[in-house]
Structures are given as C-alpha cells and as structure tokens.
Amino acid sequence: MLTKCKRQIRLKYLLLTNKNHTILSENIIKKLSELFFSWSKEQPAEIKELPASGSNRKYFRISGKSQQAVGAYNDNTAENKAFIGLSHHFGKYGLKVPSVFCVSEDFSCYLLEDLGDEILFDKLAVIRQKDGISDEFINYYKKLLTDLIQFQMVAGKSLDFSSCYPVAGFDRQAYLWDLNYFKYNFLKPLQIPFDEYLLEKDFIEFSTMLMIPESSFFVYRDFQARNVMLKDGDYFFIDFQDGRKGPLHYDLASLLFQARADLPFEIRENLIDYYLGKVEEIEPESLLNFREHFYHFALVRVLQTLGAYGFRGLFERKPHFLQSIPKAIENVKWLLENDKIPENLPELKKCLGFLVLYESINEDFAPALTVEINSFSFKRGIPSDLSGNGGGFVFDCRGLPNPGRYEEYKKFTGSDSPVSEYLASFPEVAEFIESALKMTAGTIKTYTNRNFTNLMISFGCTGGRHRSVYCANQLARNLQNIPGIKLVVRHREQEKI
C-alpha cells in the first residue's frame, strides 16, 4: 500500500510539473509568435521546441509560409544582451555566428538565423569511427583553431568587455568561482576526502598563478566542437554568451581537453604546436612562457567542467553529463601522471589522486537506459508512465490464442511452464514476439545512442495473466544481453496492490 501511495504522490507531482511547464511554454510560444510576425509579417505555420542542452534557455524552430527562424527564450536578460551584442560585434569581423533578426522589448526573447541541426562534434565522431584520426579529422580541428584566433586576437581587440556577462574578464574571483564550483558540485557529493582549509589555500595559490599570463584577449569560455554548427560546408559558432576578457590558454584548453572528444594526448600536443605557429604570425610576444602556463589552464578547465558535470549530472540527473564524467577523470589522470599539476598545490593534488582511484566510477556515471516491460489487463487500463517521458510501445495480445479459456491453464500464469509450452506451440505467437522485438530493439539502440534514460514497453491482454505475461517475459529474454540497458519486468495484475 505504501508503494502505491508513493506512486500516486509522484504521479501528482509529475502532473503538476507538467501543468506548470505547459503554461510557461504556452506563454513563451505566444511571445515568440508575436515576435516572428513582427519580423516576417507571416503567421507561424509550425513551432517546434528543440531539445534542451546544458542551460535553462529554450529554443524553438519557427516556420512561416516563406520565412524560418529559431526563437530563443531566456529569462536572464543580461545574458541575452551579452549574446546579442557579441553576435553583432563578431559579425562585423566576418566571423560566422548566427544573425539576430529581432529582439523583444524586454529582451527575454529573440529570433536567430536557423543553422540546421548538424553539429561539428557529431561530424567528427562519424569521421573517427570510419577512418580513425585521419588527415580530414585533424584538418577540422586546425580550421577550428584558426577561427579561434580570429575571435581571440582580431575581433577581441576592439571589443567593449564591459558588456560581457556575468563579468567583464577573468580575475582571481572568477577562477575561485570555478574551483569552488568543482568543490561543491563534485568533490563533496562524491565524498572525496580532503582538508577544506588546505584545499582553500591551494585554490587561492592556484588562482594567483592563473593571473600571471597576459589577459587582454577574448575568451570564448566554452570553445568546443559541440558549440559549432555546420551549414553549407562552413562553421557557425554558438553559445559564446559567457565570453569575457582573459588569457589565450583557456579556450585552447577548453577545445583540446573536451572530455567527450577524447582526443589522444599526442594529437593534442600536435594541435598546440599548430596553434602556437598561427599565433606567432600575429603577435609572437603573447607566447612568452606559453607552455609553462598552458597546463594550469587545462587543469582549471577540467575542474570547472567536472563541476558542471556534477551539477547537471549528479543533481539534475541529465544523462549526457553523467556519461561525460569518466572521460573528464581520464584527463585528470593524465595531468597527474605527466606531472602537470604544480607541486605547490599539495592538497588539490592529493584529492585528485583519490578521485582517479574511485573504484566504481564507470558503474556510477555510465547511465543505463531503463527498459520497463509490463504485462497488464486492458480492463484496468494501460500502465502509467511514472518516468514522465511518455511514449513507448503498447502491444495488444488479445489476437493470440488464449489459454485462459481452458480450465487446465486457469490456475497458471504466462510465467509457468504449462502456459509457456501451450503458447510456444503456435507459430503466430512467435511471429508476434519477433515483430515486437524488431520494433523495440531499433528504438532501444536509438535511445541508448542519444542517452535517453527510460523506455516503457507494455503487453496487454484480457486478464493480464497469460498471453501478456508470456510475451513480456519472452521479449525480456531476447533483450537481456543488449549492453547499456537495465531491464525491469513488471506483471501488474500479479502485484499486490
């Protein structure tokens, strides 16, 4: 009874959450529709919400009769103003960023050029899977580095940094924010041992070291292949709203130490050489002691990233971020093994040593797709999806031979041998299960690749005890060896309510 009560409470919570989300979405869509009409003089024919990423911003693809745009909503208007201002500035220098078509009076909504759906990260993953670290793969990174220098050293030279958000530039406090973000969102939740007083001393020392290199350049802040769109064979850069004044090293570290990119370390070294050669052509004096400082920024970037993965993954339970944690820890391990962590940060070095020894790291952070397989009676309705995802499959077993009509099978269920043997003797039952397997296996593969967390598959019959139970068990048996999934089988009509 307690379990049923908990399910009812959770269902009420989900309904309330969905209701509030629906009201918010309706208001956003209304504002974006009005904005689209004011820009295009066309009523939207279709408005489709785009998948969420690591922020709270919402994006919608809006199509009219002849015009199309991406509508953005963000209640943080200061961040919106920073993005819009930076977009205009970079556009003047010929950098490929999305054009801003129109902005609402309160700066909560704006319309952007629609760049499509192809992300450079995905393109690189396809090339790597097919050809490995090929010349084509490397050339994509070289093009990225060439464009990065244009952001940093060309467009960045005339930028008014006072319009940047949330701060004009990297100072000691900004670095301490990143380091404490790591401490509170990653170290503490995982209960990695450290002396807090000594770690704070190391953070202060480390932030002082990070202030040594020249910091007069534009820092994109999150310069990585996931923030680059491909359209008509060219790069378009997005998500630069947190950009600010700072050192050259930071963005290079962001790109080469991106956890999910998993670049071989020798390739990173080669790309650093390529970048330094290009910078030297513009401003050689900016490279003074560059390599000496570079790995300090690689470290702070990795720690900041782990803080973000902790918040978005451990707290918000977003699968992509959870799945990225082991790769980020591999970066920490490499920095430790190659003596890239300064000796004057002993407590930080010690707690990172504990971190890489965390035994169950892959088990804890590689989120499985939970596939819930149900049997049920149509008399009591289709099982509720308490994950909140909706969708899935419902298969109607009532067209199959029914052992429940025969007295000798009535006391058994589809899990018992007499019923199993009876149903297995009919070819049409095997064909039904095979068809269900083909349909669901394809979806499971897609869901796993996209890091979805839940899929519900339900089999219904008249009483929910024979055909539906048998089919649910058979499908589970066929799916049990698929890697990356967690199977849960529920026979609802056999549960005690």
pLDDT greater than 80 at residue 66: yes
Phi, psi for 58 (deg, rounded to 5): -115, 140
Q: Strand order in 393-396's β-sheet?
A: 393-396, 454-461, 369-377, 485-491
Return the minimum-mean-pLDDT range out of 124-133, 167-176, 365-374, 428-437: 365-374
Return the minimum-mean-pLDDT range out of 56-70, 110-124, 446-460: 446-460
Torsion of CA 160, 166, 167, 171, to 10 degrees: -140
Place 109 in a pLDDT band, splitting at 50, 70 and 90: very high
pLDDT greater than 90 at residue 1: no
pLDDT greater than 80 at residue 495: no
Angle at 117 between CA 112 and CA 121, to 5 degrees: 115
pLDDT greater than 80 at residue 179: yes
Q: Tell me the β-bridge partners of 284.
A: none
- If we measure between CA atoms, which residue out of 367, 169, 366, 352 comes closest to residue 250? 169
| pLDDT attached to residue 319 | 67
Cα 208 to its chain centre, rounded Å, is 32
CATH class (in words) of the domain with range 120-365: alpha beta
pLDDT greater than 70 at residue 439: yes
Q: What is the mean pLDDT of residues 58-64?
A: 94
- If we measure between CA atoms, which residue out of 323, 335, 317, 308 comes closest to residue 361? 323
| pLDDT attached to residue 9 | 38
What are the tens digits of pLDDT across the range 144-153?
999 999 999 9
| pLDDT attached to residue 25 | 74
CA dist list (Å): 420 to 182, 398, 476, 479: 54, 16, 14, 18
The owner of tokens 């709203």 is 241
Q: What is the mean pLDDT of residues 25-30?
A: 85
* Cα separation, 161 vs 171, whole angstroms: 13
The owner of tokens 């953070």 is 203
* Cα separation, 94 vs 113, whole angstroms: 15
Return the minimum-mean-pLDDT range out of 243-252, 379-388, 450-459, 463-472: 379-388
- If we measure between CA atoms, which residue out of 210, 244, 239, 219 comes closest to residue 115? 239
* Cα separation, 317 vs 367, whole angstroms: 9
What are the tens digits of pLDDT across the range 272-301?
999 999 999 999 999 999 999 999 999 999
CATH number of 2-112: 3.30.200.20
Q: What is the mean pLDDT of residues 242-247?
A: 96
What are the tens digits of pLDDT across the range 316-338?
767 677 778 888 999 999 999 99
CA dist list (Å): 155 to 24, 267, 379: 37, 28, 67
Domain regions of the chain by residue span: 2-112, 120-365, 369-494
Q: Where are the beta strands (DSSP E) in 204-310?
A: 217-219, 228-231, 234-237, 244-246
pLDDT greater than 80 at residue 373: yes
| pLDDT attached to residue 385 | 74
Place 356 in a pLDDT band, splitting at 50, 70 and 90: confident
pLDDT greater than 70 at residue 24: no
Tokens of 129: 């899977």
pLDDT greater than 80 at residue 158: yes
Phi, psi for 339 (deg, rounded to 5): 55, 40
| pLDDT attached to residue 7 | 42
Q: What is the mean pLDDT of residues 81-97?
A: 95
Q: Tell me the β-bridge partners of 72.
A: 59, 110
- If we measure between CA atoms, which residue out of 238, 102, 93 comes closest to residue 157? 93
Q: What percent of the chain has pLDDT over 90?
A: 70
Return the DSSP state at 480.
Answer: T
Q: What is the pTM of this model?
A: 0.70
* Cα separation, 264 vs 239, whole angstroms: 26
Mean pLDDT over all residues of the chain?
Answer: 88
pLDDT greater than 70 at residue 486: yes
| pLDDT attached to residue 368 | 67
